[in-house]
Structure 1
Amino acid sequence: MDDLLELSASIIESGDVSKPFNRITNELSEVDDGLAVVESFSHSVVIDSGDGLVAFDASHANTGAQVVEAIQGWSSTPVSHIVYTHGHADHVGGSVAFDAAYGDLTVVGHENVQRRFDRYRYTNDWNVLINARQFGGVRGDFAMGDGAPDFIPTDTLEPTRVVGAADTLEVGDRTIELHHARGETDDHLWGWMPDEKWLFAGDFVIWNFPNAGNPQKVQRYPIEWAAALRDMASRRPEILLPAHGLPVGGADRIEEMLTDIAGALEGLVAEVVERMNGGEVLDTIIHSVGVDPDLLAKPYLRPLYDEPEFVVRNIWRQFGGWWDGAPSRLKPSPDAQLAAELAALAGGADKLAARAAEVAESGDFRLASHLADLAGWAAPDDSTVHGVRAEVYRERRAQETSLMSKGIFAGAMRESKAVADPDS
């Protein structure tokens, strides 16, 4: 079994990203005396308190039972507490398996977790749809596609100990501080054990560029996210335990990691807000603001899930609302009506599609996608036009790095393939 702290140290110090470090093995590794991690979707980080085990997060509904089995192979002591770092499905769905194995659990979560559960149930079908598109079949074994069950199981455990701004758990001989901060979510807690100097970061650290701009999800909070990371770094943790990716050891290494992530977010916010204050529109800002490529090359900041361009949009949304500054897009015509007009001017939807293919061949997939969409909207039942559109998005998906972009472009490809070849 890998020594996870040695593995993460070697990756960070060398910059070698050939070894996987966002792993879903459902195997448990002891990281320190009385501290273990089950690498799953998401991880469950377990503390032996001397009077029951405390688990940070319960993983996904489809991995919870395997996580429990791994914990039981490590210790016969029952889990007495689950701490939800936040209410995302991959952190809480496995609580059903914990309940079946242990029962009588104290479930700790921020006061907004219950509101999140209520929202998920109110918009269940929407959440199933957007997650199927976001993950794009990359992890089909997690049943996130069409026909998936409820987004979170109806019997997911709800918090029984509700946290506001902060709280302290005294379990056995362990003291666990809990702190709330908005970041990826508005219900996020991070944990700190001052005696051991263990930091439980949840999704504030995911070994990818921060998920602060997800194009299909509700508002993220990059300013508060960065401030929380600075707060964590100031405590000089000696072991960092994220909910995704490898645990990290060494106070200096952890401080650099946390401040790098904070700095990337702070830089984006500062430049976007400066340009907004200068009266620039979203189109200009999107194509002008970015992150230093050297920073994005670091193993824990690569844009393989979310990406800086999406964070720019989220900052605009937080401070500027939904309108992008283009007058025609305040109250626009339907896409199909505009597309039909442009297709008529071009000589037909097939002309737009042909030009989309030419532009894609030149490597300009942004422009090619516009043209392919216009062609498809103008001719929604034309198999030839949609064959071109499907190919444009197939090629574009292959050029992208982030899972979110790949998933959405794959969704567009499948949409047009269903028109181009309905029997496939």
Structure 2
Amino acid sequence: MSLQEINFDGVVGPSHNYAGLSLGNLAATMNAGEVSYPRAAALQGIEKMRANMALGLPQGFLLPLPRPNLSFAAALGCDVGTDPRLTAAAWSASSMWTANAATVSPAPDTADGKCHLTPANLVAMPHRSHEWPDTLRMLAVAFGNKDHFVIHTPVLPTFGDEGAANHMRMADSHGEKGLEIFVYGRSGGAFPARQHEQASRAVARLHALDPERILFVEQNPDAIAAGAFHNDVVAVANERVLFTHELAFADREGTYDAIRSKMPSAEIVEVPANAVSLEEAVKSYLFNAQLVTLPDGIMALVIPTEAWENVSVRQWLDEMLAGNGPIRKVIPVDVRQSMANGGGPACLRLRVVADPATVDQRFILDNSKADAMAVAIKNLWPEQIDPADLTSRKLAEEVVAARNNLLQMLELPELI
């Protein structure tokens, strides 16, 4: 069996809008009430996936969840339109950020030699708390091969779990036994810490991980207060490399020492705060990047164009590339519509180490499928949505029809 890292990007849904529902996500709240462009957003996502395939990387995708979710509003005794925030929550397209879909432990790390996935309960934010039933249903289809995958139900809502956005994995290579790092929060000033330590520990137990190959690390409260609502806004790992901001973790030196003690080959690439401040890191989403190993073995950092255009960030990246570090290429991508709602390249993807042949092939992307998806998006996704439009029955019907059409085209009627 050939284990590879497959990035499963979320297709941006036709209900993509800027309602500003995510407390602590500075971009989302800053752009609240602005007009969004679902068609452009989804096409930017398709182009990002095409670019990864052109680099020689396996690429999968996950699909928009059914929106508006009328049952969510009904369960709260609310008709759509009665309460603007609950209405917006029922319309939220936030499942596009599949880094929050689940926590994934590859087969080399687990006791039974299977890849384990636990959908995130996302209870910290009401607009995301109703995602998991449909996410679970989709994961059960995409990773339905029970010889290779185990799908768990989410951690009980007693403890908030945000999925892979607060989880990192390091290994000498993707197919080897790894070190799984669970990052939780305790406080963040005015902003909530979304990942609970007990949720992280529960996932590690459910996945039957080797206790000697796990770390539980506290996120720096200052990072949360600065707008790093998930760990992946200030740190990202790939194989033996951890790329991190100096202020990512509450106990910086203790975290680095623990990583090195369990994985002597680890390389830590740290961006000092005096070169790129926390505020600039959050604004540019430098760390909300895809750190990937290309087929030739070179490690590349796929960053949003906003990071490439930031003066301090660009200066630091140029100095890094001029050195002899493990990250040898920087590749900017345009995901501006997602960025304006608080999600960069890393938010848009769920990393799964598996043999691509064991995944339901309807979720594996190729150029032909990407072409067909782009045509469907151009024809059916709304060009723009004003948050005031979220009470429109006509728009709701268009959004439902657009998603259903895409699922039918991809021969996934079981998800309609």
Give 1 or 2: higher helix fraction: 1
TM-score normalised by L of structure 2: 0.28
Q: Which structure would you say has the larger Rg?
A: 1
TM-score normalised by L of structure 1: 0.27
- By relative contact order (CA 8 Å, sep 6+), the higher-ranking structure is 2
